[in-house]
Structure 1
Amino acid sequence: MLPRRRLLSAAGARRAIGLLGTLFIVFAVGRAIVVSGQGQPTVTTLVTSLMISVPGFLLVSGAYWLSRADIDPDFYPRIARWCLAGFGVMACLLVVYHLQPGESVSTRAPPILTALASVAGLAVGINDGRARTRTYEVETRNRQLERYREYTDDVLNAIRDVFYVLETDGTLHRWNDSLCEVTGYEDSEITSMHALEFFGENDHDPIAEAIEEGFETGSVQVEAELLTKDGASIPYEFAASTLTDPDGETVLAGIGRDVTERMDRERELTKRAHQQQVVADLGQTALETDDLDELMLETARRVTDTLDTDYCKVLELDEGSGELLLRQGVGWEEGLVGEATEPAVAEASQAAYTLANDRPIVVEDFETETRFTGPELLTSHDVRSGISTVIGPFDQPWGILGTHDTDSREFTEEDITFVQSISNVLAEAIERHHYQLELEESNERLEQFAHAASHDLQEPLRMVSSYVQLIDTRYGDELDDEGREFLEFAADGADRMRAMIDGLLEYSRVESQGEPFEGIDLDDVASDVRRDLEPRITDTDAEVRIEDLPRVEGDESQLRQVFQNLVKNAIEYSGDGRPRVHVSAEKNGTEWAVSVRDEGVGIDPSEQERIFDVFHRLDPHDDQPGSGIGLALCERIVERHGGEIWVESEPGEGATFSFTLPTTQDHE
């Protein structure tokens, strides 16, 4: 917008031109009136008046037309000056001509010539105004374009990412300051550089192909190492699209972004995922092996590989001697594993400090460590850094797991958590190993007890049975009904006692006398059980429906006992109605849940947990045969197979006994 002073000047210029034109018109009219009274010819008067008034009208029209013309108002005063200059120059010429000796100008010539000269001056002024307006507009547009370019440059330079524009031959057409800041090159150097010069030789072909692809398809994205002037490489991601520049040429414009942080995060996530996988793998190994030393050695190998350390140790605490034995490890000098020891109670020792803390102890540099001193095992191997943590409960530690390096280094929280997780795996494996040893000892004692009980009780029991039979043979005819009833009770008790002793012996031998697990088709097992129970099924008119059963991993003989006990119980506890038994299986993840359902008398909820106890019967006084050890035997067999057994029932609504078994690897 023009200043107000300039606007008033423009308005004054138009008024000056219009006023000049009006004066010519008024002069022409007034002269015509005066001359017509002097008797001049009418035609001459009319022609003279027109030659004066027409230019006047042109001047008035020109002043009015200027506001609608494509001329900047800033040039109106210049047009007015051209108009007045035409008038003034003509007037001067007429005066000069009139002053010459012997020359004179008629009274009609001055107004006509000055009017025409004014119109001519207006025309010249208009042309000049238009030309200057065009020039001013071009200059204004150029200044605007320059400002826009400067603004665009400021915007692009404010971007932290690298901005670039490539021509088809790969030369840089434009870039922002970030390219200079990142690479270290000056603008003058980049001007003569090719795009490939910012990358190592190994990336030249991929970058050249990416540029070609970008021009062919319209867009491209590629990752490469950006090479700086001093030879450093930075991972960058480049994305570009084609566009047309002001000259109509196709160029490739894009952004390059430093992806160092993203790649660091990805590496960290990969590292963390690998650590978690190692923990999972070692956990699986711990479940599959019974050899603790093999597990500890494999653990030491995996820890050093995962954390890229030089040493790993598993120290076993001997509370009696107060020493830690190097039970297993990697990296140590030959002969130390299984022999080297560390004091566990020495003051200011690393081992004592570790055992006294409930979280991992991290050392970044033993040379600057002030909390404790390094043991000879570490100092003799030039250890500088490491992580150590307690294996087992803090208040009852089994030992220490540690990993060490000969370089001073920092460990991340993920590294510390990884070592702690590995320690937990070892602690659980050790606890399970101790439990298994205790269980084996318990089973052995149970079997010894059952064998002794069987052997010691069978003889007096046989004697009782023999004397009962002898009394029945010799004195049976002399006994009254009550006496014979007493004799039957004694014989039945002896039979029950014998069944209980046999059942107890069988219960104790589930672990020791069981067969190795193998793939078993439960359809075959169920068919055998049905065939064995066929007389009982026929006598009771029982309906036994068996669905398709899967293959599982287990001991066929023991699983036959489970099916036989459950199906037999389902028939015997059917109540007054016809026995109906339904056997089915359902896949549940990596195991099968097998169910035996009946429609019998059911089981009270208060009894559902106790029915799996040894010698427990729903009703000790009922007439059903059995020793009360069948369900306990089923539970022990299922537990040996790594499963569990349970019952769901309501009194009078029947019962469903279910147990889980592992699938075979070839099941699918």
Structure 2
Amino acid sequence: MIGLLVLYSLQPGEIVDDPATISILTGLASVAGLGAGIYNGRAETRTRELEHRNRELERAQTELRETVDRLEELNTRLERSNERLDRSRRYTDHVLDAIHDVFYVIDETGALQRWNESVGDVTGYSDAEIASMNAIDFFAAEDHERIANAIAEGFAAGTVQVKAALVPKNGERIPYEFSASTLENPRGEPVLAGVGRDISARTMRERELEQRTRQQRVVATLGQLALETDDLDELMAEASRQVADVLECEYCKVLDLDDENGELLVRQGVGWRDGIVGEATVSADESDSQAAYTLATDHPVVVEDLESESRFSGPDLLIDHGVHSGISTIIGPADEPWGILGTHDTASRTFADEDVNFVQSIANILAEAIERKRYQDELERLVSDLTESNERLEQFAYAASHDLQEPLRMVSSYLRLIERRYGDELDEDGEEFLAFAVDGADRMRSMIDGLLEYSRVETQGGSLEPVDTEQLLDDVREDLRLKIEDHDAEITTESLPRVEGDPRQLHQVFQNLVSNAIEYSGDETPRVHVSAERNGAEWILSVSDEGVGIDEDDQDRIFEVFERLHAAEDHTGTGIGLALCERIVERHDGEIWVESEPGEGTTVSLTLPAA
């Protein structure tokens, strides 16, 4: 071969795709002694393209397999995550469903997005019904606005708490307390999630506590009224009103027992028709009425339904007013009852033990007031009798003392006449006897004068007025000037107050006390000190000396009439001075007492109202 025949075609496939053309060209090349061949450039190119594409496809397949593997791994993880999420959701649902309180999630419109089984259990609505309801649909119409405001407040403030009656499908009302806080749901929307708790038991306890507190307050109020008023009818009427009001009963009555007629009179009451209070009576026979049965059993009696009562028949008073239930308690001791306190209602009711105790407490207050009024009336009668007796005694004492004056003056006059006419004829014994008689008559006259003063403290006393006790002591010192000088006595005083009193009688008191202090000074120079100390609305005035003192056993005796601790020849006096002082001080609503030790002196103190 001497050469190579090469033909090029500008059109792809123009030569190689035509077998005839290839045959001709091959023959020509052979005649010319040239070599001949076919080069298919398109195939080569396509081969290379296919190889490249194949490599790209393999890479894509590899990446796809890797992506599929990753997706499968992610899917596995997602399935595991979803499984965990489902378990968590189921756990949460179980936890929420296990809660006895109602759980809820609502949006800003009040629509429920989630709830637990308790919502359906409590309300009686199905899940389908609940899903179509708004939160306010679970409440009474009068609470809708308040609940809507609470929801709005929860979204605005972040938290909210409200009490309201939940209304189930059956229409019952159940006290509930709701508390909620704002959260975001998975979509990022604000929701209000919370719980509602049945507070029926707590509400009942609160009501019972409030009722007990109210009952105690009424007991205290009526107890105070019983101490302040003497009008039993006013107290009984108020007690009837309070008992009926607190126990929410329509009727209450106070029955006054008349043993002689065997009847119980409606003394006071509330709720009864006109003409009942003060007029109507109930039989005291135990089989005829609840009140009479209460008296017979000596215990409070509770009736829940009078129509089915077998212990006694219903009296006309209760039947005519449609009474079905009530409480009756005894007023006063069982052995001497005053009557019955009863409260009644037209509805059949069950009363708690605390209600019965409350009625009994009010009955006890009435009993104490009645007994106190009896004692007060008896005391007033005794005081009246005693006052009358004292007046008669004073009149007798005055009359007796006055009547004794004349014969005593006659005795004294004749004794002195004997002394003047026959004194020279008497021997020493006769003169002594005559002196004894004259001295006895003089002392008798002093005792009668003292008794007259004592008997007239109340009747002859002056009006009370402000008295300057410093000036009073100056006057006393002047009246006792001779005695003070004779004994060389030293009288000292502190700053003394103004008191409310009878000037003349107070002068008598302090003159007696200062005179006694000088008289019983012993052998020492008398030193008497008058002092004063404020004690609230009164003054304590004291007269102290450094004299002989008084034995403790004798200190109560010194205020008795005609009581003397020393012989007449040792000390002058009638034995009525301190008794007179005590009576005058008592007239001034004061007290007088003595503090003393033998040989250490004596202090007599008394109280007088401040001016």
Name the TM-score, length of structure 2 as normaliser: 0.70
**What is the rounded CA distance, in whole Å, between the counterparts of 1:568 and 1:244 in structure 2?**
98
Is this contact kept in 2: 1:612–1:631, CA < 8 A?
A: no
Counterpart AA for 1:252 = L
Whether 1:596 and 2:550 are equivalent positions in the alignment is: no
Q: How does 1:87-236 map to 2 (within 5 A)?
A: 129-236=69-176
Query: Percent same amino acid at aligned positions?
Result: 41
CA distances 1:43-82 after superposition (whole Å, capped 9, x unpaired)? xxxxxxxxxxxxxxxxxxxxxxxxxxxxxxxxxxxxxxxx
Change (3 A) 1:330 1:216: closer
**What is the rounded CA distance, in whole Å, between the counterparts of 1:413 and 1:562 in structure 2?**
63
Whether 1:403 and 2:343 are equivalent positions in the alignment is: yes
Is this contact kept in 2: 1:542–1:571, CA < 8 A?
A: no
CA distances 1:176-211 after superposition (whole Å, capped 9, x unpaired)? 122222222222222232222223333333323322
Change (3 A) 1:659 1:582: closer
Q: How does 1:352-363 map to 2 (within 5 A)?
A: 352-363=292-303
How far residue 655 of structure 1 moved from its aligned partner, in angstroms, is 8.0
Whether 1:542 and 2:493 are equivalent positions in the alignment is: yes
**What is the rounded CA distance, in whole Å, between the counterparts of 1:357 and 1:566 in structure 2?**
62
Correspondent of 1:494 among 440, 448, 451:
448
Is this contact kept in 1: 2:514–2:543, CA < 8 A?
A: no
**What is the rounded CA distance, in whole Å, between the counterparts of 1:422 and 1:185 in structure 2?**
49
Whether 1:485 and 2:439 are equivalent positions in the alignment is: yes
Whether 1:578 and 2:529 are equivalent positions in the alignment is: yes
Is this contact kept in 1: 2:540–2:608, CA < 8 A?
A: no
How far residue 645 of structure 1 moved from its aligned partner, in angstroms, is 7.7
Counterpart AA for 2:389 = F
Unaligned 5+ segments in structure 1 are 1-117, 508-512, 516-523, 550-555, 586-591, 639-643, 662-668
| 3-state secondary structure, aligned to 1:373 | coil
**What is the rounded CA distance, in whole Å, between the counterparts of 1:481 and 1:427 in structure 2?**
69
Is this contact kept in 2: 1:297–1:328, CA < 8 A?
A: yes
CA distances 1:375-407 after superposition (whole Å, capped 9, x unpaired)? 333334333222111111111111222222232
Give the structure 2 partner of residue 372 of structure 1: 312
**What is the rounded CA distance, in whole Å, between the counterparts of 1:506 and 1:562 in structure 2?**
10
Change (3 A) 1:528 1:656: closer
Give the structure 2 partner of residue 282 of structure 1: 222
**What is the rounded CA distance, in whole Å, between the counterparts of 2:543 and 2:364 in structure 1?**
47
| 3-state secondary structure, aligned to 1:370 | coil
Is this contact kept in 1: 2:286–2:294, CA < 8 A?
A: no
Is this contact kept in 1: 2:585–2:608, CA < 8 A?
A: no
Is this contact kept in 2: 1:544–1:582, CA < 8 A?
A: no
Is this contact kept in 2: 1:499–1:626, CA < 8 A?
A: no
Whether 1:438 and 2:382 are equivalent positions in the alignment is: no
How far residue 155 of structure 1 moved from its aligned partner, in angstroms, is 1.2
Correspondent of 2:268 among 328, 332, 347:
328
| 3-state secondary structure, aligned to 1:185 | coil
Counterpart AA for 2:494 = E
Give the structure 1 partner of residue 231 of structure 2: 291
Unaligned 5+ segments in structure 2 are 1-57, 420-430, 481-490, 522-526
Change (3 A) 1:646 1:598: closer
How far residue 490 of structure 1 moved from its aligned partner, in angstroms, is 0.5
Counterpart AA for 1:330 = V
**What is the rounded CA distance, in whole Å, between the counterparts of 2:126 and 2:504 in structure 1?**
88
**What is the rounded CA distance, in whole Å, between the counterparts of 1:613 and 1:432 in structure 2?**
33
Change (3 A) 1:620 1:371: farther
Is this contact kept in 2: 1:365–1:408, CA < 8 A?
A: yes
**What is the rounded CA distance, in whole Å, between the counterparts of 1:471 and 1:321 in structure 2?**
68
Q: How does 1:257-276 map to 2 (within 5 A)?
A: 257-276=197-216
CA distances 1:593-645 after superposition (whole Å, capped 9, x unpaired)? x563748489988889x79998698969896863637657867986xxxxx98
Is this contact kept in 1: 2:544–2:603, CA < 8 A?
A: yes
CA distances 1:100-134 after superposition (whole Å, capped 9, x unpaired)? xxxxxxxxxxxxxxxxxx99999987765544332
Is this contact kept in 2: 1:170–1:211, CA < 8 A?
A: yes
How far residue 282 of structure 1 moved from its aligned partner, in angstroms, is 2.3
Give the structure 2 partner of residue 306 of structure 1: 246
Correspondent of 2:327 among 387, 401, 407:
387
Counterpart AA for 2:203 = M
Counterpart AA for 1:365 = D
Q: How many residues align?
A: 510
Is this contact kept in 1: 2:493–2:530, CA < 8 A?
A: yes
**What is the rounded CA distance, in whole Å, between the counterparts of 1:646 and 1:125 in structure 2?**
123
How far residue 420 of structure 1 moved from its aligned partner, in angstroms, is 0.8
**What is the rounded CA distance, in whole Å, between the counterparts of 1:165 and 1:562 in structure 2?**
91
How far residue 436 of structure 1 moved from its aligned partner, in angstroms, is 1.4
Counterpart AA for 1:490 = M
Is this contact kept in 2: 1:317–1:324, CA < 8 A?
A: yes
Q: How does 1:44-83 map to 2 (within 5 A)?
A: none
RMSD over equivalenced CA pairs, Å: 4.5
How far residue 438 of structure 1 moved from its aligned partner, in angstroms, is 0.7
**What is the rounded CA distance, in whole Å, between the counterparts of 2:588 and 2:316 in structure 1?**
51
**What is the rounded CA distance, in whole Å, between the counterparts of 1:192 and 1:168 in structure 2?**
15
CA distances 1:328-361 after superposition (whole Å, capped 9, x unpaired)? 3333443343343333345565344312333311
Q: How does 1:22-61 map to 2 (within 5 A)?
A: none
Change (3 A) 1:649 1:536: same
How far residue 322 of structure 1 moved from its aligned partner, in angstroms, is 3.3
Is this contact kept in 2: 1:499–1:627, CA < 8 A?
A: no
